[in-house]
Amino acid sequence: MSRIKKFIIDLRPLQSYKYGGVQTVNRLFIDEIVKKLKSDQEIVFFSSGFKKPKIHLDKLESYLKKSNIRHKHLKVPNILLNLSLAFFNWPKIDKLAYKKLNFKSKRRNQQKISYLCLDIRPFALSKISQSFIYFHDLAFKYCKNSLSARARLYFWLIRPKNIYKKARLVLSNSDYSRRILVKNYGKKAIKIVYPSINKPEAIHPDYKIKNKTRQILCIQTLQKRKNLELIYKIAQVNLDHKFKIIGSGQNCFKSAKKLQLTNIEFLSNINDQEKFKLIQESKALLYTSKFEGFGLPIYEALVYKTPVICLKTQPYKQLFHKIGLNYIQELKDYKIPNDLIKPKNPYKYNLRLCGQQLYKMLVKNR
């Protein structure tokens, strides 16, 4: 069979929040795919919305300078597009992206297209194309009661189970996520592509922190399901520590912010360079989310050898069992000890190799 030369990469996951685990994974993997793109291959970036949205992909303009990369924006309200894709399996995204292709040609192997979305979004493709959908976790199902009414309506609308069944290949971020996907949606080919980050020296070649401060860093989307109330409980008994909270969606957490704790500071969204500087100088990362498939902020802290304080959950025990974490359940009265467990050999997952694995999947004609 011929090798696939045409790719569609869905940018819709980068049209909402700027910072977050999903957005970070998207940006890093897209960059790896672009780096490996050959001269006879082509990428079409797909986005949608009645008004052209801000796409949180800083390198998009530099990507589009390449002759074999272009951007297709569908000017349709996203609510109408999601309804049409979810319930009518139309419009076909590959036909929108490659209008000049003859989709009725008998030489289908030469026309075949790989479609990739690094988050769950409704999609529709012609029979000649293959689809890859990345499921980060099933938090929308397991933490349903903590979602807003709007979020619950959204996940009902896009019908995740149908997306799972329709995808030619499902990608996920851990064996734990793979197992719960099979348990809830049935057996299917699922490939694990681990998230990762750029090597620290590529981000801060000259930055060295001499002494860790009594600063505790918290990085997570500020949503109810992330269990942020626990941060306040821990901050209340550790008044000698400064807690800095980074994350999108602060409007979801207005009531909690009213608590008068002088040792808590909300930093909202910051760029990666600022984030990694804070990770390096902090005494620990505090991560209170109850349900994750991977927990990218945990890994970001471990790469910088910053101790991690988190809940003792199955995916963390499996993914980081040889590295060393501090579990909240084992803290005495939520008191943070002076001597925390420091991570060992943290750089377990390699971004270049994970990106190469993803690129090879897109090229393979299945």
Instruction: Give which of 195, 186, 189, 182 is closest to 136, Cα–Cα.
Output: 195
Instruction: Give the pLDDT band (50/70/90) at residue 261.
Output: confident
Mean pLDDT (whole number) for 132-154: 90
pLDDT tens readout for residues 57-95? 999 999 999 999 999 999 999 999 999 999 999 999 999
**Cα–Cα distance between 18 and 56 in angstroms, integer?**
5
Instruction: Give the pLDDT band (50/70/90) at residue 252.
Output: low
Q: Which residues neighbour 266 within 8 Å (Cβ) at sequence distance 6 or greater?
A: 245, 250, 257
181 vs 277, residue with greater confidence: 181
pLDDT at 17: 77
CA distances from 53 to 11, 13, 165, 184, 353 (A): 11, 12, 29, 34, 32
- CB distance 291 to 142 below 8 Å: yes
pLDDT tens readout for residues 93-127? 999 999 988 777 666 555 799 999 999 999 999 99
Mean pLDDT (whole number) for 226-243: 90
Asked if pLDDT for residue 13 goes beyond 80, the answer is yes
pLDDT at 151: 86
Burial of 98 (0-12, 13-18, 19+ CB in 10 A): buried
Instruction: Give the pLDDT band (50/70/90) at residue 246.
Output: confident
**Cα–Cα distance between 343 and 87 in angstroms, integer?**
47
Instruction: Give the pLDDT band (50/70/90) at residue 214.
Output: confident
pLDDT at 287: 95
pLDDT at 251: 56
Instruction: Give the pLDDT band (50/70/90) at residue 259.
Output: low
Task: Tell me the DSSP string of 239-292.
Answer: TTSEEEEE-S-GGGGHHHHTS--TTEEEEE---HHHHHHHHHHSSEEEE--S--
Domains of the chain, start order: 6-196+351-363 (3.40.50), 200-334 (3.40.50.2000)
Determine what percent of the chain is predicted with pLDDT higher than 90: 67
pLDDT at 18: 78
The chain-wide mean pLDDT, for the chain, equals 89
State both tokens at 197.
């980050």
pLDDT at 267: 82
Instruction: Give the pLDDT band (50/70/90) at residue 266.
Output: confident
